[in-house]
């Protein structure tokens, strides 16, 4: 574990955890589903256009997928078409057993709950995809609340909306400083920082490297979410 700034000693009461790359290992399914979506819109795999768009998808991991497609395909109709194709392809891959928990993730969530924290799972995917992941893992009843961008007014990361929605809807914390955010992307970190979270922890099991997470404002960088309960016990708990 590394600490990139002064350790916050807030009494953390609410943990908002990202899914893919943080608590869920998807083995590159985002890129595979993107290829299917791009193909439906006439972007040929192996072309320069495909490579450029895939680079953007990689760079914006953690962002709401519809926002990514709006950037890539311009008009709303094409963005929505790409998003539907992406969600369908990703869902089929999930249904095919191509997804698993990050090692120690469920145990970490259970530890946080045992320590008295409320835990929320958030994602940049649409609700239908989030539900497919939860069903595939048997996680439907694991946490108090699950959130996708539509549940927070439509804006996903790097906006703070999902973190703030978790804060408001659970009523678990008295201040945003009592919230911990954990994720694997720079956008997760920006979302946590903008929400004013007391702990913004990056994990190295997903899309972005330690320096990317630190540059985006991570207060801590962890090997995985499995280290989060111990971190929070040392942050005023």
- What's the confidence (pLDDT) of residue 67? 83
Q: Which helix (H) or strand (E) is 145 found in, with range? A: strand 145-147
Q: How many CA atoms lie within 13 A of 175 on its CB side?
A: 8
Residue 39 is predicted with a pLDDT of 86
Please work out, in degrees rounded to the nearest 5, the angle formed at the alpha carbon of residue 28 by the alpha carbons of 23 and 33. Answer: 110
**Order of all β-strands in the sheet with 14-18:** 2-3, 220-222, 199-203, 179-183, 14-18, 118-122, 145-147
Q: Let me know how long the chain is.
A: 237
Task: Measure the CA–CA gap between 38 and 12, rounded to whole angstroms.
Answer: 41
- pLDDT band per the 50, 70, 90 thresholds, residue 3: low
Q: What is the pLDDT of residues 74-94, one digit of tens each?
A: 889 988 898 888 888 888 888
Checking if the pLDDT of 61 tops 80, the result is no
pTM above 0.75, yes or no: yes
Task: Give mean pLDDT, residues 158-187.
Answer: 96
Q: Per-residue b/e over 85-103, b at no fewer than 16 CB within 10 Å?
A: bbbbbbbebbeeebbebbe
pLDDT-derived band at 236 (thresholds 50, 70, 90) equals very low
Give tens-digit pLDDT for 66-76.
888 888 888 89
CA dist list (Å): 28 to 9, 90, 181, 204: 36, 10, 23, 15
């Amino acid at each position: 574990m590394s600490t990139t700034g002064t350790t916050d000693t807030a009494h953390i009461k609410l943990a908002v955890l990202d899914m893919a790359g943080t608590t869920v290992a998807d083995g590159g399914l985002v890129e595979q589903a993107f290829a299917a979506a791009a193909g439906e819109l006439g972007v040929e795999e192996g072309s320069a256009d495909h490579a450029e768009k895939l680079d953007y998808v990689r760079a914006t991991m953690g962002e709401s997928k519809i926002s990514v497609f709006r950037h890539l395909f311009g008009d709303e109709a094409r963005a929505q078409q790409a998003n539907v194709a992406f969600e369908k392809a990703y869902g089929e891959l999930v249904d095919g057993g191509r997804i698993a928990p990050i090692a120690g993730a469920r145990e970490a969530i259970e530890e946080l709950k045992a320590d008295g924290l409320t835990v929320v799972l958030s994602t940049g995917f649409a609700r239908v995809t989030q539900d497919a992941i939860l069903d595939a893992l048997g996680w439907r009843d694991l946490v108090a609340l699950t959130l996708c961008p539509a549940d927070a007014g439509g804006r996903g990361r790097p906006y703070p909306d999902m973190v703030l929605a978790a804060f408001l809807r659970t009523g678990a914390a008295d201040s945003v400083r009592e919230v911990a955010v954990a994720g694997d992307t720079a956008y997760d970190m920006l979302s946590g920082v903008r929400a004013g979270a007391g702990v913004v922890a990056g994990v190295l099991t997903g899309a972005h490297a330690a320096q990317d997470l630190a540059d985006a404002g991570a207060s801590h960088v962890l090997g995985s979410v499995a280290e989060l309960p111990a971190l929070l016990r040392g942050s005023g708990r």
